[in-house]
Amino acid sequence: MYDVRIPVLVVGGGPVGLATALFCGRHGLRTMVLEKRDDTSTLPRAPGLQARTMELFRAAGLGTDIRALEMGDSHPYFEGGIIKVRTFAEIDDAEVLEVPSLDGPTVSPERVMGCGQDRYEKVLVAKARENGADVRFGTRLVSFEQDADGVTAVVEETATGRRYTVRADYLVGADGASSRTREDLGVQRAGRGTVFNALSVYFRAPELEDLLKDRKFILCYASASGGLMGLSRLHGRDPWLAAPLYFPEKGEKPEDFTDERCVEIVRQAAGRDIGVEIVDKVPWRGAQLVSETFRVGRVFLAGDAAHVHPPAGGFGANTGIHDAHNLAWKLAAVLKGWGTDALLDTYDAERRPLGTAMSEQALVRNRIRHGYATDQDRGDFVDDVIITLGYRYRSGSIVAEPGARVLSPELQLTGEPGTRAPHVWLRRGAEQLSTIDLFWDSYVLLTGPGGGAWAQAAEPVARKLGVPLRSYSVGASEELQPVDRDWAEAYGVGADGAVLVRPDAFVSWRAERLTGDPQEILADVLNRAACQG
């Protein structure tokens, strides 16, 4: 007998674990989340939410709630990019290191947003619970075992020591860089290891705003503090966040950084004897390590448990949330009876190559910002919008010939299988929506005015395979009318072509025109997209 029976057990209640519970709940799956902390984060970590992340929150029904947390318009800070100064008092002489491309009106219906983890975690908890999640703070995973039918976990309430067992169909380890889940699975990691050591220093310094002269930036590096120090700007200034480096090889350790020393470091970086109040200090490592697999049987790894890397680019929490979204719809497909174990295998096939490529890009950015980049590094640099929105999947669920690499040099959202479906504004009656709003809990077949044969074939094919499928016709006189550009051109098809898009908004298959029996073609394509055999 088990004390609790649940379809999905999530270990870790940070942004990735909470997003997993939220997305699963939106697909009708009950989850339990175990988080050893007593509550949500009190520190404004992971403050940059990418356009793709905002798309996922939008699709899950909390985009408005998250956007309401934005303090003013944070977009100009992203546009200000990454800069470097000797001291903050010399902000007029700032050197621009990077001005990343992050979004755009033809790229996404959403924009990047600055918001600390301390604020958006609260919304994720509330919305996850609204969608049926049992989020348990002050609770840790003690051990787990898996068999052919599920996972049995022993968990403990940290305040009382009470232990009980949880039986789940699947377990998701979203428990961070030091993941207990990964360690118990025996999954090894490959990569460069530790690249640098840093200390996040949260502080208040009212005079600092005057020194910066309202200069907009994501991150400002100061070199006058005895070692490069980065000042984050996205989450606001109460408190500020700075990250001085320290060097264990020189005998330095976090305990050496007393409040008094941190105050002096901030003042050196400021170039003025300003008032500084230290709020908190958190040591951390900038490392690059990717797990050799993201799946072992019925257990999956997501977020930092699967891939860690330097924070340059702000890919960490965002990529983990994207992991969660990719996995959630596949778990729902299997637990609802129409997905297969082979579909679950595509989680590793799709997310691990991206995790590796993305972590390499974080390393490239780290070398550029710290001043020791090579010409090869600069040549390897891929713009942020490609890493966050323009990556490509290759797996059994993508009905296309493999070949294109995960990150291409240019952004190519053209409807090619394996890429995120292009964003086109549509009108449906009085409603305006994006094509991205069409994708969530089913496959979607998009056709043009000449695609009636595809639409007629879709319903019987989907019914026979038991796969959820919606069909939409897009055109000037159709149900969905393009507003800003030609839909067929954006998706790379003719008037009688068709595109099959997965629940996660990634294109699985595309036919530029109708050649053959649409029912036979769709039966084969949908069968392969759902990995039914």
Q: What confidence tens digit (pLDDT) does each residue in 444-469 have?
A: 999 998 999 999 999 999 999 999 99
If asked whether residues 179 and 321 sit together in one domain, one would say: yes
Q: Is residue 327 part of a domain?
A: yes
In degrees rounded to 5, what are phi and psi of residue 283? Answer: -75, 150
Q: Is residue 339 part of a domain?
A: yes
Mean pLDDT of 190-208: 91
If asked whether residues 173 and 300 sit together in one domain, one would say: yes
Residue closest to 368 by CA, chosen among 97, 93, 102: 97
Q: What is the pLDDT of residue 377?
A: 83
Tell whether the model's pLDDT for residue 402 goes beyond 80.
no
Q: Is residue 354 part of a domain?
A: yes
Q: How far apart are CA 168 and CA 152, in angstroms?
A: 6
User: Is residue 228 very low, low, confident or very high in pLDDT (cuts 50, 70, 90)?
Assistant: low
If asked whether residues 28 and 128 sit together in one domain, one would say: yes
Q: Which amino acid is at 388?
A: T
Q: Using DSSP, state whether 165 is helix, strand or coil.
A: strand
pLDDT tens track for 241-291: 888 888 999 999 999 999 999 999 999 999 999 999 999 999 988 889 999
Tell whether the model's pLDDT for residue 188 goes beyond 70.
yes
Q: What is the pLDDT of residue 378?
A: 86
Mean pLDDT of 380-395: 93
If asked whether residues 16 and 118 sit together in one domain, one would say: yes
Q: Is residue 136 part of a domain?
A: yes
Q: What is the pLDDT of residue 48?
A: 87
Instruction: Give catalytic residues, as residue numbers.
Output: 221
If asked whether residues 314 and 166 sit together in one domain, one would say: yes
If asked whether residues 60 and 120 sit together in one domain, one would say: yes
Q: Is residue 17 part of a domain?
A: yes
If asked whether residues 337 and 446 sit together in one domain, one would say: no
Q: What is the pLDDT of residue 160?
A: 97
Q: Which amino acid is at 431?
A: E
User: Is residue 320 very low, low, confident or very high in pLDDT (cuts 50, 70, 90)?
Assistant: very high
Q: In which domain, by residue range, is 116 found?
A: 4-72+112-189+292-380
Q: Is residue 397 part of a domain?
A: no
Tokens, residue 224: 């006058």
Domain boundary among 365, 380, 395: 380
Q: What is the pLDDT of residue 236?
A: 62
Q: Is residue 517 part of a domain?
A: yes
Mean pLDDT, all residues of the chain = 93
**pTM for the full model?**
0.95
If asked whether residues 44 and 151 sit together in one domain, one would say: yes
Give the CA radius of gyration of the chain.
Answer: 24
Q: In what order do the strands lie in the sheet with 498-501?
A: 469-473, 443-447, 498-501, 507-511
Stretch among 237-241, 268-272, 501-505 having the lowest mean pLDDT: 237-241
User: Is residue 385 very low, low, confident or very high in pLDDT (cuts 50, 70, 90)?
Assistant: very high
Burial code (b: 16+ CB inside 10 Å, e: under 16) for 167-183 equals bbbbbbbbbbbebbbbe
Q: How far apart are CA 281 and CA 239, in angstroms?
A: 12
Tell whether the model's pLDDT for residue 227 goes beyond 70.
no
- Look up the CATH number of the domain holding residue 318: 3.50.50.60
Sole residue written with tokens 């550009």: 485
Tell whether the model's pLDDT for residue 316 goes beyond 90.
no
Stretch among 23-27, 78-82, 507-511 having the lowest mean pLDDT: 78-82
- Look up the CATH number of the domain holding residue 460: 3.40.30.120
If asked whether residues 462 and 368 sit together in one domain, one would say: no
Tell whether the model's pLDDT for residue 1 goes beyond 70.
no
User: Is residue 233 very low, low, confident or very high in pLDDT (cuts 50, 70, 90)?
Assistant: confident
Q: Is residue 472 part of a domain?
A: yes
**Largest separation between any pair of C-alpha atoms in the chain:** 77
**DSSP assignment letter at 420:** B
Give the CA-trace dihedral at 282, 284, 290, 294, to 10 degrees. Answer: -20
Tokens, residue 244: 């001085």
Mean pLDDT of 393-415: 89
If asked whether residues 40 and 133 sit together in one domain, one would say: yes
Percent of the chain residues past pLDDT 70, beyond the cut: 98
Domain boundary among 380, 409, 443: 380
Name the burial class of residue 297, with classes exposed (0-12), middle (13-18) and buried (19+) by CB atoms within 10 angstroms of its CB. middle
Stretch among 148-157, 336-345, 402-411 having the lowest mean pLDDT: 402-411
Tell whether the model's pLDDT for residue 482 goes beyond 80.
yes
Asked whether 406 and 390 are in contact (CB, 8 A), the reply is no
Q: What is the pLDDT of residue 4?
A: 94
If asked whether residues 362 and 430 sit together in one domain, one would say: no
If asked whether residues 174 and 313 sit together in one domain, one would say: yes
Q: What is the pLDDT of residue 369?
A: 82
User: Is residue 226 very low, low, confident or very high in pLDDT (cuts 50, 70, 90)?
Assistant: low
In degrees rounded to 5, what are phi and psi of residue 226? Answer: 85, 5
Mean pLDDT of 85-105: 92
Domains held by the chain: number: 2
First to last CA, the chain: 35
3-state helix, strand, coil in the chain (%, to 5): 35, 25, 40
Q: How far apart are CA 329 and CA 347, in angstroms?
A: 10
pLDDT tens track for 143-184: 999 999 999 999 999 999 999 999 999 999 999 999 999 999
Q: What is the DSSP string of 33-101?
A: EEESSSSS--S--S-EE-HHHHHHHHHTT-HHHHHTT--S--HHHHHH-EEEESSGGGGGGPEEEE---
Q: Using DSSP, state whether 324 is helix, strand or coil.
A: helix
Q: What is the pLDDT of residue 474?
A: 95
